[in-house]
Homo-oligomer: A and B are copies of this chain.
């Protein structure tokens, strides 16, 4: 991890949330740079603050017995990390790891609290942000409980596409291991494979190494239900 000058112009909150934020960030003039696979924070760490992602790709995950972990969600430019730490507990309940080189603005807790206390609009918007995250979480809960593995993998692909978009060649805009896909879909490595083969022969996706291209999005949607 490395500190660099803050690229204020592309900050999520600057453009999407509140104008005042721009000045506040400008005061800090500091972002942090994480390399691929570098940990941003870990489950159980003291909550020191919150991150706003400028660019890159991140997974939020939680340990589950030895060597099994579950990926809660993926994040990209414009997202907020570590906000789950706000709710009373002073330990992060999850871990965040960079899937790719990631630039993020770090705001200390104290600073954020002061902001929230004094800036009503920010609090209000953050509340709505939480509300929509909650809806997403519950949607996913239902899916994990009642959908078969194929459907969950289809959902994973759609989510990846939505969060990371496509690169110039039309592939999903992040390189991700099959293990990570399995962890998000709540299944195993081997099963991901076998179903990737199925999806390929059904003409739904094409893979090239670890890159994935979605050919027939409609079909994927149908699998999700």
Contact = CB atoms under 8 A, between A and B. Distances in A.
**Copies of this chain held together in the complex:** 2
A134 B87 contact: yes
Contacts of A213: none
A168 to B, nearest CB: 32
A128 interface: yes
Interface of A: 62, 64-65, 68, 70, 72, 83-84, 86-89, 93-94, 116-117, 120, 123-124, 126-128, 130-135, 137-142, 144-146, 186, 225
Q: Which of A84, A126, A138, A225 has the largest number of chain B CB atoms within 10 A?
A: A138
B186 A146 contact: yes
Q: How would you classify the secondary structure of chain A's contact residues: helix, strand, loop or mixed?
A: helix
Given A134-B130, A141-B137, A141-B140, A64 B146 contact: yes
Contact of A128 (B70, B86, B137): B86
